[in-house]
Structure 1
Amino acid sequence: MSYNYSYNQPPYQQPGQNPSYPGYAQPQLSASGGFMPGMPPAQQYAPPPGAPPIPGNRPQSGAGPSSNGPGYYPPQGPPPQAPYFPPPPAPGPGPYGYAPSPVPPPGPPLVQQPYGYAPPGGYLPMPQYLGTPIPLSAMNKYSTDPPVPGYDARGDVEAIHKATKGFGTDESQLIRTLAPLNALQVATLATQYKAAKGRDLGQLIEKETGGWFGMGLRGIILGPLGWDVELLHRAIAGVGTHEDLLNEILLSRTNDEMNMLKSAYRDHYGRNAEQDVSNDLSMKTKNLFVMAMNASRVPDNVPVNPQQVAVDIDQLHNAGVGRKGTNEMVFCEIMVNRSGPHLAAISAAYHAKYKMTLTRAIKKEFSGHMKDALLYIAEGAKRDGRGVWRDAKLLEHSMAGLGTKDERLVWRIIRAHWDRQRMEAIKASYQAKYKKSLAARIKGETSGDYQKLMIQLVG
């Protein structure tokens, strides 16, 4: 998913360009209005090699060059009324022939027309993160979000105010109000609550609630991108690294998602996310995450090349179980930079050729955080490469054994609920694998308002 940050920005024009015809040299005039002495005639008002001729700057029949110098003909006719200024040059092609998406610039506000507005040239693409449209303010705190069609936040503002005023908090009302909202609606609600009540919605909820219930509501209010930024910081802050969380935030992401995450992290913390993650890791694991955050992954809509799949499975075998010792960087390069469908094809072809699953090969060759990171990617490649089966398995791991790993359960449910279609697929996969509904499993492992919120989000 890509998006345009600059269609409202001033037209792109290099210094010295002819304002009517971009790419042509602007003539340099002396005080008397003539051309500067000694200026080569070709640079006076001539197009660059291979460019189309300038309308009105051609000799008419029977006319010769003017006294301004050989090759110059006075412009004929009025200038065009609506000149076209080309955009800045696109970044160079990356691996597999596609150009990486730009990192959104920090600083000045981004301006977007109301959602669904069609500017000249077509509809403005809406940025998406975790499978759902997100507001521009999530990527740039100086931006103003347009209204969300069909959503009037005033009723929800009053519902939250009523639920939190005075002594005690009506937690059920908070769940009924916040759980059904999408990311665009949540951002609108937060803005209008602050405008109407003079309080930050996130700070209010943090003051009025607590525990895993409060953590879940905070994840909803921050939205999919904002909460991922906070979770990424949480994963690397303090002593040690929250490895599971780091894997889920940074691995198997689209290039656009990774670039949005890095930009929003910089916008919120004033720091470089790649550098912070790199400083928290070491050796080959550090290299793996640097590669992942480089955002050079092949997009999922690129057709799978069977010949490349065959090459990749041989390279993985020869770098692992097919040799003495392990070439870790071969695994990292292939697992990090290939698309989901391509990795799904690798997983099937590897098993068919070498009679061993790719996950089994990784478990034999790796240990520690590197093993867990590669397994997260490899298990996401099973079935269709969308990670649905893996995410259902991770939800079960949050509840299996003695005690519930509540923190993991909360972030996994909150992050999954934004994309309702994918959540339904996760629920179906969970039912097929464990012969029990996800909602019933959660109900047996949680209680109170925390339970009610998780069940509501699962649907």
Structure 2
Amino acid sequence: MSGYPYGNPAGDYPAPYATGNSAYPPYPAYPPPPIPMYANNQPFASPYGMPTPQMSSYDNYLAPSYGGNQTSGNPYDYGRGNDYQSLPPPGGQMPSPMLNQPPQQYGDYGNSQYQPPYSQATASSLPGGLYPNIQSPATQSNYAGGATAPSYQPQQQTFYPEEQPSISLASLEQYRGTIFPVSNFNIDADCQAFVQAMKGAGTNEKALIDIIVNRSNAQRQQIKHQYKSMYGTDLVKQISGETSGNFKETISALFDTPANFDAWSIHQALTASKEGTLREILLTRTNSEIRGIVESYKRTFNKDLEKEISKHVRGTDFKRILISAVQANRDELSPQQIQQARQMGIESVIDRNRARQDADALYKAGAGKIGTDEKTFNAIFAQRNYYQLRAIFEEYQKKHHTDISKVIQSEFSGDIKDAYLVLITCIRDRPSFFAERIHKAVVGLGTNDSTLIRVIVTRSEIDLVQIKERYQQMYKHSLTQDVSGDTSGDYKRILLSIIK
């Protein structure tokens, strides 16, 4: 158990990327969803069922700024619900062209801890793309003991978080989470349900779980604020007093904002030298999410994250790629480019000439010379968007007949080698990386509960559906089976309720 405290205020989440072949199959010419305007007057495709309430005091969650040939990702979506209705089934979604293609060939990962993303079996097709603006009717869920829907609240917060940008990219990649905003969201009823679930002797844990896992993160933030307004009590602290262990930690993570939870996880990783956690978070989040993490880290710990990385991280090259990541300056697709990619295919937003130039630069910095020019690798891997990097890897393979993963293994070692392999895996198929992270957390003696909780919670509104599929393909048994075998009690029940 990692001892995660009961939350902090504010933040946003990560982004996923699908499998792909060199041809970048075109996306169907479906009309793109409308792009709303947000507080900073920048457009961004809403990743949640409907826009989250915005308040003038909330200026920490701005829509990301993008440049040309850039990629954005959106891992979490939010919405509403009423009368304790359970998660509505996804609907109105278009077929998944990327996942219907044969899997991309991967180079040998050798002795590295990172294995090829998934078996050579074709990934199963999905029922549709993640268009968060499309809602399906919710079905009513039953609360044990007749309790009303409860809500959880980590710390006092006077604003509601905006949609997280990773979900827009998830929609482009046809990824889906298992948690959606519940329709007809009745915040007062949820608050009353929490009171009923914790009333008298004992706690109705089933009622707590049923409400919490069927509300999006944005809805949970609203419930926290409303609960304190109604009853003058911090909901998360109250629930923490009624629960314990990994169950309490999971509930706290669900009630915290994505940026705060990531900031706390990074702080723990820096203190305990957990390089895998640093790679998992800092190398997979979008610019907007990274900015939220940096702000939350400063606000929560009164420390500068970049300086903390310089102080605690060993290895010049590994430190360099992490410091590059916290600059939040990677090229990302603009909202217009995301729409273009949906209508005309990913190739329409890729600069092939630049990809060839970067592939040649990587060759000259590595295999084409004695020694390695680490700075060139860092500059390209840290700045190009994921789709452009995928094209660079393809051009390198075409011209030099070597998979980029083999190049990394021959030119680097230690933490920086693993960092580049994480990026390569995520660029080619992000759910595969997170499936592997979960597998490593549950195999062998003992369970890495912190990693298990973090990955399942942070991916629950982005791409957990695809992570489950990859897990089955890679390890020949289901994620539900492995999690069920390594957990117990209410902790087991809440994780399985998220995984669905």
2:310 paired residue number: 278
Q: Give the conservation status (yes or no) of the 8 Å contact 2:282–2:326.
A: yes
Whole-Å Cα distance in 1 between the matches of residues 241 and 305 of structure 2?
29
Whole-Å Cα distance in 1 between the matches of residues 201 and 399 of structure 2?
66
Alignment partner of 1:304 is 2:350: yes
1:197-236 equivalent positions in 2, closer than 5 A: 197-236=231-270
Alignment partner of 1:196 is 2:230: yes
1:140, distance to aligned residue in structure 2 (A): 11
1:363, distance to aligned residue in structure 2 (A): 2.3
> Residue 457 of structure 2: which of 414, 420, 434 is its match?
414
After superposition, the C-alpha distances for 1:197-241 in whole angstroms (9 at most, x for unaligned) are: 3221222232222222221111101132331222222222x3x42
Structure 1 residues 326 and 190: alpha-carbon distance in aligned structure 2, compared to 1, 3 A threshold: same
> Residue 241 of structure 1: which of 259, 262, 273 is its match?
273
Whole-Å Cα distance in 1 between the matches of residues 58 and 380 of structure 2?
36
1:47-446 equivalent positions in 2, closer than 5 A: 109-110=57-58, 130-132=75-77, 141=157, 143=159, 150-236=184-270, 238=271, 240-282=272-314, 283-300=316-333, 303-383=349-429, 387-419=430-462, 422-446=463-487
Letter matched to residue 241 of structure 1: S
After superposition, the C-alpha distances for 1:410-436 in whole angstroms (9 at most, x for unaligned) are: 1000001022xx222222222233332
Q: Give the conservation status (yes or no) of the 8 Å contact 1:138–1:264.
A: no
Letter matched to residue 324 of structure 2: M
Which is further off, 283-292 or 397-406?
397-406
1:30-41 equivalent positions in 2, closer than 5 A: none
Whole-Å Cα distance in 2 between the matches of residues 200 and 376 of structure 1?
39
Whole-Å Cα distance in 2 between the matches of residues 5 and 280 of structure 1?
36
RMSD: 3.3
Q: Give the conservation status (yes or no) of the 8 Å contact 1:300–1:341.
A: no
Alignment partner of 1:458 is 2:490: no
Structure 1 residues 372 and 165: alpha-carbon distance in aligned structure 2, compared to 1, 3 A threshold: farther
Whole-Å Cα distance in 1 between the matches of residues 156 and 379 of structure 2?
31
Q: Give the conservation status (yes or no) of the 8 Å contact 1:129–1:257.
A: no
Structure 1 residues 364 and 414: alpha-carbon distance in aligned structure 2, compared to 1, 3 A threshold: same
2:132 paired residue number: none
After superposition, the C-alpha distances for 1:158-199 in whole angstroms (9 at most, x for unaligned) are: 332233344433322211111111022101111122122322
2:67 paired residue number: none
Whole-Å Cα distance in 2 between the matches of residues 415 and 111 of structure 1?
23
Whole-Å Cα distance in 1 between the matches of residues 196 and 156 of structure 2?
31
Q: Give the conservation status (yes or no) of the 8 Å contact 1:298–1:337.
A: yes
Q: Give the conservation status (yes or no) of the 8 Å contact 1:319–1:331.
A: yes
Structure 1: gaps of 5 or more residues: 8-86, 88-107, 113-126
Whole-Å Cα distance in 1 between the matches of residues 416 and 36 of structure 2?
30
Whole-Å Cα distance in 1 between the matches of residues 218 and 422 of structure 2?
30
Whole-Å Cα distance in 1 between the matches of residues 403 and 248 of structure 2?
41
Q: Give the conservation status (yes or no) of the 8 Å contact 1:347–1:382.
A: no
Structure 1 residues 134 and 327: alpha-carbon distance in aligned structure 2, compared to 1, 3 A threshold: farther
Whole-Å Cα distance in 2 between the matches of residues 432 and 6 of structure 1?
42
Q: Give the conservation status (yes or no) of the 8 Å contact 1:399–1:405.
A: yes
Corresponding residue SS for 2:257: helix
Corresponding residue SS for 1:110: coil
2:6 paired residue number: none
Higher alpha-carbon Rg = 1
1:297, distance to aligned residue in structure 2 (A): 0.7
Q: Give the conservation status (yes or no) of the 8 Å contact 1:202–1:221.
A: yes
1:145, distance to aligned residue in structure 2 (A): 7.1
Corresponding residue SS for 1:440: helix
Q: Give the conservation status (yes or no) of the 8 Å contact 1:224–1:418.
A: no
Whole-Å Cα distance in 1 between the matches of residues 420 and 325 of structure 2?
11
1:330, distance to aligned residue in structure 2 (A): 1.5
User: Quick one: percent identity of the two aligned structures?
Assistant: 27
After superposition, the C-alpha distances for 1:271-312 in whole angstroms (9 at most, x for unaligned) are: 332222332224222221121111221114562111121122
If the length of structure 2 is used for normalisation, what is the TM-score? 0.61
Structure 1 residues 6 and 375: alpha-carbon distance in aligned structure 2, compared to 1, 3 A threshold: closer
Whole-Å Cα distance in 2 between the matches of residues 132 and 351 of structure 1?
36
Whole-Å Cα distance in 1 between the matches of residues 286 and 201 of structure 2?
45
Q: Give the conservation status (yes or no) of the 8 Å contact 2:79–2:215.
A: no
Whole-Å Cα distance in 1 between the matches of residues 313 and 161 of structure 2?
37
Structure 1 residues 401 and 3: alpha-carbon distance in aligned structure 2, compared to 1, 3 A threshold: farther
Structure 1 ranges of 4+ moved more than 4 A: 1-4, 137-142
Report how many aligned residue pairs link the two structures: 337
Whole-Å Cα distance in 1 between the matches of residues 447 and 399 of structure 2?
39
Structure 1 residues 149 and 449: alpha-carbon distance in aligned structure 2, compared to 1, 3 A threshold: closer
Whole-Å Cα distance in 2 between the matches of residues 341 and 347 of structure 1?
10
Letter matched to residue 244 of structure 1: G
Structure 2: gaps of 5 or more residues: 1-34, 43-55, 61-71, 81-152, 163-181, 338-348
1:258, distance to aligned residue in structure 2 (A): 1.7
Whole-Å Cα distance in 2 between the matches of residues 351 and 144 of structure 1?
46
Structure 1 residues 340 and 111: alpha-carbon distance in aligned structure 2, compared to 1, 3 A threshold: closer
Whole-Å Cα distance in 2 between the matches of residues 2 and 267 of structure 1?
29
Q: Give the conservation status (yes or no) of the 8 Å contact 1:341–1:381.
A: yes
After superposition, the C-alpha distances for 1:85-123 in whole angstroms (9 at most, x for unaligned) are: xx9xxxxxxxxxxxxxxxxxxxx92389xxxxxxxxxxx
Whole-Å Cα distance in 2 between the matches of residues 249 and 340 of structure 1?
16
Letter matched to residue 470 of structure 2: S
